[in-house]
Structure 1
């Protein structure tokens, strides 16, 4: 290893840090780290792999990230005695008897050796003495060598139950609104189908709507499997209920305020008067219990702006692709194919106008991305704007700090043969 620049590393200037980077073979990053972000010695010692991967640095080359972290660990070990006061990053803790720098599952203790972590436990590999942690943004280390990770995501099952109540209530309200809009559906003789480029160009396929619902069922089964095996299934299910309920609540407004004419003569829709409120509630219960699907014998009219089937298909697709590893290309491709084919079948069946499908896809995707951008960016979690425009967000996400990792585990107790294989 080349000789380090003179003086204490903690007191290095940006020029000395630039010299160290060049000596380690990272000339390409001198401009980014030293010129643009003014990295000095103190900030260099507190640098973590999370800092390198995340904004504003966002290094893209994995090999460079790993090699830079190896060089930083050596530098942190050599200067551990002078870095006790550096604890500004989420992965470092200062202690009475030493300094700990955590990076993933590896912890460097300047007081005497390395700590190796597996889940929530950390043990000293070599060296003697104990470390008492004073600062613990992500965890707490006890003097007996155990490490308790306080940054672990709390499932908060009671919030998940509330989200389930919320989405069930919204579905029930949506069913009642569908009964009301059915009574107001425009007369087919007076108001013929509106001009639509796709519907006017593609002949109707009678069995297409059933195929669209079949695509939705397959996507639903895939997501249920993901939820079952995902370590943070409670948070995922809570987010699914929150988003699905919010989109369908918005759909209640759009289909109630404006009644579009029936998109196809095959529907044979006419305004129905269900009589008193109890009859309407009974019909709403039939729609709710049948999930509004034609496969369960439910047929509705008037609920055209926007497509509820497209909402479900798109939301399921986005949850499957978001909460599975990036290299699961087959699952992601299958999910998108089911989503797009489901949308095509909805239009091919002439059950919705093209604008219904487009608006449903756009609103669902934007709401999903908006929600997850806020959830993954802790700086905006408790903003006033989020509380006003997305009131459920702050309540459901207040204790979820950062991105939910895609970690999987057995939902129940681990089978004995799996324990033997793992050792």
Structure 2
């Protein structure tokens, strides 16, 4: 029993340290994420509104024609019709579970969440502009039309909700999360291939259920990567390179992607990004003026906090009376030499 209690305490301690190290946010990052979630929710709401509009327009067209028909689709000739509509929603859940596991175990989880919501939201905005522009006959004979107020009606798998496939959008975005953030080893590659297999299987299920035409599924596969890499470009140049949202971009230390990264690799990233150890953009004039006035060099405060946390985990406690611990002297020396090497490297590059 004591052994179980000890293991439980160790597990709780590990989880708590990881939460504080990788998930803790400052006020600016919290405000950013709250605004991001609100905007994402609004895009999904208005996408539902426009899908209701498309459904009601499809009903008007069917009434005018006096019949319901399906447009010719090549894949419909090779994939038989199945009445298993619940499987399209099941594949959404199958994509969410491994993606959520990846986010929870990632060393920069809020960065993954931000990229996911931004890309998904951008693709949803595109779908808002397309779903009700051109109305097409629904490919599923048993679909139901949306009735009532378009702003307060919420239904799934309604008629007319065609261009383009929202389910396939979820499949592709979750797959792209794995492509960009999965571990760079054979386990990560196998899991990424597995997730892509789920995405392809889910796309075929969407077609088999006649929830969408093949063109709707293909458009999702075209648009989602475009939204994903557009957000990646914007994020790199306007967040990473400018040292913004540091607790989201680099929760542990500026330039550190994973806990296993070496100090040399982190410093090389800071040089390539043009960032100082504290996350501010590199400014040679400011460094020159600091040296001219005899001010001390910038030290990496995030790295120092991380080292202090590591000492706490390892059981190293400063001695009483204000006398520094030998480990503290070592940390100070490493911080000074790292800052000096960082400045010299920048001077050589610039």
TM-score bracket, shorter-length normalisation = 0.5 to 0.7
1:193 is aligned to 70
Question: Is 2:60 aligned against 1:172?
Answer: no
* Structure having the larger proportion of residues in helix: 2
Deviation at 1:167, TM superposition (A): 0.6
What is the rounded CA distance, in whole Å, between the counterparts of 1:403 and 1:192 in structure 2?
57
Deviation at 1:210, TM superposition (A): 2.4
Match of 2:214 among 346, 351, 354: 354
**Contact 1:306–1:356, Cα closer than 8 Å, also in 2:** yes
**Contact 2:70–2:137, Cα closer than 8 Å, also in 1:** yes
Deviation at 1:202, TM superposition (A): 2.0
RMSD: 3.4
1:28-67 maps to which residues of 2 (within 5 A)? none
1:90-131 deviation per Cα after TM superposition (whole angstroms, max 9, x unaligned): xxxxxxxxxxxxxxxxxxxxxxxxxxxxxxxxxxxxxxxxxx
**Contact 2:139–2:213, Cα closer than 8 Å, also in 1:** yes
Match of 1:232 among 108, 123, 131: 108
1:329-353 deviation per Cα after TM superposition (whole angstroms, max 9, x unaligned): 2211211111110001001111111
Question: Is 2:31 aligned against 1:184?
Answer: no
1:321 is aligned to 179
For structure 1, list consecutive stretches of 5 or more residues without a partner in the other structure: 1-152, 288-297, 383-393, 409-418
2:140 is aligned to 264
**Contact 2:175–2:199, Cα closer than 8 Å, also in 1:** yes
Q: Secondary structure at the match of 1:241?
A: helix
1:211-258 deviation per Cα after TM superposition (whole angstroms, max 9, x unaligned): 232222122111112222222212221221111111111101101111
What is the rounded CA distance, in whole Å, between the counterparts of 2:244 and 2:134 in structure 1?
32
Distance 1:396 1:344, change over 3 A: farther
Question: Is 2:152 aligned against 1:282?
Answer: yes
Deviation at 1:403, TM superposition (A): 8.6
Match of 2:79 among 199, 202, 205: 202
Distance 1:380 1:222, change over 3 A: closer
**Contact 1:346–1:352, Cα closer than 8 Å, also in 2:** yes
What is the rounded CA distance, in whole Å, between the counterparts of 1:368 and 1:312 in structure 2?
12
**Contact 1:177–1:252, Cα closer than 8 Å, also in 2:** yes
**Contact 2:240–2:249, Cα closer than 8 Å, also in 1:** no
Deviation at 1:201, TM superposition (A): 3.0
Q: Secondary structure at the match of 1:306?
A: coil
Match of 1:158 among 17, 31, 52: 31
Match of 1:370 among 214, 224, 230: 230
**Contact 1:216–1:338, Cα closer than 8 Å, also in 2:** no
What is the rounded CA distance, in whole Å, between the counterparts of 1:240 and 1:256 in structure 2?
25
1:308 is aligned to 166
1:405 is aligned to 257
1:251 is aligned to 127
Deviation at 1:374, TM superposition (A): 4.2
Taking structure 1 as the reference length, what is the TM-score of the superposition? 0.48
What is the rounded CA distance, in whole Å, between the counterparts of 1:337 and 1:193 in structure 2?
29
Distance 1:407 1:306, change over 3 A: farther
Match of 2:89 among 207, 213, 236: 213
Deviation at 1:273, TM superposition (A): 4.6
